[in-house]
Amino acid sequence: MEAFDTPAGAKQEERSSWILRLLAWRDKHVSDSTLVVILALLVGAAAGLAAVLLKWLIATIASFLMSRATLTGSNYEYLIFPVLGILIAGLYVRYVVRDNISHGVTRVLYAIALKNSRLKRHNMYASLLSSSVTIGFGGSVGAEGPIVFTGASIGSYLGQLFRLSPQMLMMLVGCGAAAGLAGIFKAPIAGVLFTVEVLMLDLTAMSVMPLIIASVAGATVSILFTGFEVEFLFSQSEQFLASRIPLVIALGVFTGLVGVYFNKVMEGMEGMFSRLSSPWARFAVGAIILSALIFFLPPLYGEGYGSVNSLLGGDVKALFDKSLFYEHRDSASWAIAVVALLCFTKVFATSATNGSGGVGGTFAPSLYVGCMAGFLFAFVMNELGVSDIPLSTKNFALMGMAGVMAGVMHAPLTAIFLTAEMTGGYGLFLPLLIVSVVAYGTSRIFTPYGIYARRLAQRGELLTHQKDQTVLTLLKMDSVIETDFIAVRPEMSLKEMVDVISRSNRNLFPVVDDDNMLLGVVLLDDIRNIMFRPDLYRRLHVNRFMSTPPAKIVTGTPMEQVMKQFDDTNAWNLPVVDEQGHYVGFVSKSKIFNSYRQVLKHYSYD
């Protein structure tokens, strides 16, 4: 029976017919540039709604679970709730979604770089549901990564629905990511900058307007549902003094180093969890680490925005609520110890949450760590009496958020504007700028890539703002290997070699053995002076006049490294072998240049 003879098939046929009619009407009446603007608005509104829904789900779940928690003493719920949330989210992802949806921002980067911006349809809701359970139950991660993934997937779906070109599709993915971030933080400028700095989309005359429209739409929808209140409550009660600039620079160095620490620990923990082959082993290890950390340090529970608001309000005692250390809340030494522990253990809690099966981002944890680092810096300086006038711990906590974020993500502009937009701390714009730039520069000394780009950079799959490097990243070895070369054997005579030359339209011949292992090459120019001497036909053999190639390319080598080998050897053709040394084919500069031009034309917006 035909598929369309069933009710489901009839519905599919009706839906396809409707889409085709819509596309035909669009082709006649709506230009590509106008369509992208319209879709950017729709994507922005949808991503904003998704952000509102995600925040509501997290708050509702967390409020329901923690309604019975006490203010003083230990709460054994901290040993159970986070583990239960990770278990539910992990089972949902493993048996319902059946796809790896962790590291949402990195997956968006990967889709842009290597998969023509095509994201699976289930990503429009899978990250939203699984992260709301993970965070609502107390997983120590953020909602920003999942909402960026959700928004980008909405953009990808609409772009595919309207059969947009890869360039347009990439733009809508960026629009969805910007709108998701703008909606979750009510920060439209930061949404645009995040897309440019982290997702690495070029700002052009064609791209800037859709990005702004989508980001503003996402923030507007969020404000319509939740009001104009900023994400974090901050009021600048102390004026920033120019004499504090040296200390601000020192804070930038400190937060930059904290960002390096954050990235290195995250990388190490990811490596540890990846070495555990069993998902249940990963769950057990992560659950033990997470529940133990939250039990002893309750402010690590969930996103931790309550703790951030407390420090931005100058109330360090609030960090002792619901903890074993409640009775020490009036001690300065205990305050330093608790804040320092929170600063340096949050990354372990975040890694454990994601590594054990939970779904969440590292955006909020970097803000959390930054707030703790900035507060700790100012608090210690005040205890040491470094300044005649005590430093404002609130101001430095705010600046620390921007510094660590810039160091972790390598996105200083995003860090500056996001911190200002989500707190209303525009009066500290200059110190925010200084801290972010110094932290970014410090982090770059030790880590060349931010946390989102690192995973792709290690595999040679990172898309960048440099067009040459981007096009080389998009080019794949399989697309430029040429296999129409006639292979010869080392024992063949010169006469047999001449016969092969007469049948070939190439001037290069690989020499292989019986197992197809590459032994060398024969260049036509090298034997031109002897190939017309019949007296040598039976006396000379290939193994006498073959030569060693200047380099061999192993299949799967990134194209950037291939080009470097061409530059180092000054060769025009290089043989390709597999990992065992078997001959595969040749790559040539001319083939690469032709493919480069095609990809560059395909990739460019303008």
Q: How confident is the model at residue 6 (pLDDT cuts 50, 70, 90)?
A: low
Q: How confident is the model at residue 325 (pLDDT cuts 50, 70, 90)?
A: confident
Is the same domain home to 196 and 319?
no
Q: Which amino acid is at 66?
A: M
How high does pLDDT run on average in the chain?
84
pLDDT of residue 85: 93
Phi, psi of 493 (to 5 degrees): -80, 170
pLDDT of residue 471: 47
Determine the Cα–Cα distance for residues 166 and 307; give it in Å rounded to an integer. Answer: 43
pLDDT of residue 23: 66
List CB contacts of 266: < 8 A, sequence separation 6 or more. 347, 350, 351, 362, 451
Q: What is the dihedral of CA 207, 212, 218, 224, to 10 degrees?
A: -160
Determine the Cα–Cα distance for residues 93 and 266; give it in Å rounded to an integer. Answer: 22
Q: How confident is the model at residue 504 (pLDDT cuts 50, 70, 90)?
A: confident
- Residue 124 included in any domain: yes
Determine the Cα–Cα distance for residues 172 and 175; give it in Å rounded to an integer. Answer: 5
Query: Which residue carries 């994400």 as its tokens?
Result: 231
Residue 447 pLDDT > 60:
yes
Q: Which amino acid is at 82?
A: P
* Domain endpoint, select from 226, 261, 290: 226
pLDDT of residue 467: 46
Residue 514 pLDDT > 60:
yes
337-345: average pLDDT: 94
Residue 4 pLDDT > 50:
no
| pTM metric for this prediction | 0.76
CB 151 within 8 A of CB 143: no
* Domain endpoint, select from 461, 487, 504: 461
Is the same domain home to 373 and 288?
yes
pLDDT of residue 415: 93
Residue with the larger pLDDT of the pair 407 and 329: 407
Residue with the larger pLDDT of the pair 30 and 235: 235
- Assign residue 548 a region (left: φ > 0; alpha: ψ between -120 and 50; beta: otherwise): beta
List CB contacts of 482: < 8 A, sequence separation 6 or more. 585, 586, 587, 588, 591
Is the same domain home to 171 and 255?
no
Percentage of the chain lying above the pLDDT 70 cut:
85
336-340: average pLDDT: 93
Q: How confident is the model at residue 326 (pLDDT cuts 50, 70, 90)?
A: confident
pLDDT digits (tens, 9 = 90+) for 564-595: 787 788 888 889 999 888 999 998 876 666 65
- Residue 26 included in any domain: yes
- Residue 27 included in any domain: yes
Is the same domain home to 456 and 576?
no
Neighbours of 223 (CB within 10 A): 16
- Residue 7 included in any domain: no
Is the same domain home to 292 and 353?
yes
- Residue 386 included in any domain: yes
pLDDT of residue 116: 64
- Residue 466 included in any domain: no
CA 465 to each of CA 188, 223, 564: distance values in angstroms, whole numbers, following the listed order = 22, 32, 19
Beta bridge partners of 400: none
294-311: average pLDDT: 89
**Number of structural domains, the chain?**
3
pLDDT digits (tens, 9 = 90+) for 177-231: 999 999 999 999 999 999 888 876 666 666 788 999 999 999 999 999 998 888 8
Is the same domain home to 432 and 540?
no
Determine the Cα–Cα distance for residues 367 and 2; give it in Å rounded to an integer. Answer: 56
CATH at 120 = 1.10.3080.10
Residue 1 pLDDT > 50:
no
CB 69 within 8 A of CB 77: yes
CB 336 within 8 A of CB 380: yes
Determine the Cα–Cα distance for residues 127 and 173; give it in Å rounded to an integer. Answer: 16
The domain of 263 spans 242-461
Residue with the larger pLDDT of the pair 291 and 526: 291
Is the same domain home to 489 and 447?
no
Q: Which two tokens stand for residue 568?
A: 């180092």
Determine the Cα–Cα distance for residues 368 and 271; give it in Å rounded to an integer. Answer: 23
Determine the Cα–Cα distance for residues 49 and 154; give it in Å rounded to an integer. Answer: 11
Residue 147 pLDDT > 70:
yes
Determine the Cα–Cα distance for residues 57 and 36; give it in Å rounded to an integer. Answer: 31
Q: What is the dihedral of CA 289, 295, 300, 306, to 10 degrees?
A: 160
Instruction: Please compute Rg for the chain using Cα positions.
Output: 29
- Residue 3 included in any domain: no
CATH at 533 = 3.10.580.10
pLDDT of residue 606: 42
Residue 281 pLDDT > 60:
yes
List CB contacts of 429: < 8 A, sequence separation 6 or more. 416, 420
List CB contacts of 559: < 8 A, sequence separation 6 or more. 472, 473, 475, 476, 477, 480, 592
Is the same domain home to 445 and 478?
no
387-401: average pLDDT: 89
Is the same domain home to 251 and 271?
yes
507-513: average pLDDT: 92
pLDDT of residue 423: 87
pLDDT of residue 556: 76
Q: How confident is the model at residue 561 (pLDDT cuts 50, 70, 90)?
A: confident
- Residue 232 included in any domain: no
pLDDT digits (tens, 9 = 90+) for 105-121: 878 877 776 656 788 88
Q: How confident is the model at residue 605 (pLDDT cuts 50, 70, 90)?
A: very low
Is the same domain home to 569 and 448?
no
pLDDT of residue 459: 58
Is the same domain home to 501 and 583?
yes
Residue 128 pLDDT > 90:
yes
CB 222 within 8 A of CB 406: no
Read off the DSSP letter of residue 389: S
Q: Specify the range with the lowest mean pLDDT, choosing from 9-18, 78-87, 216-225.
A: 9-18
Read off the DSSP letter of residue 541: B
Is the same domain home to 273 and 160?
no
pLDDT of residue 2: 47
pLDDT of residue 404: 97
pLDDT of residue 213: 95
Determine the Cα–Cα distance for residues 407 and 405; give it in Å rounded to an integer. Answer: 5
Q: 230-240 b/e with 16+ CB inside 10 Å = b? A: bbbebebeeeb
Residue 468 pLDDT > 50:
no
Q: Which amino acid is at 226?
A: T
Residue 244 pLDDT > 70:
yes
Sheet holding 573-577, edge to edge: 553-554, 573-577, 583-588
pLDDT digits (tens, 9 = 90+) for 22-76: 666 666 667 777 888 899 999 999 999 999 999 999 999 988 887 755 545 556 7
240-250: average pLDDT: 89
Phi, psi of 100 (to 5 degrees): -80, 110
CB 147 within 8 A of CB 50: yes
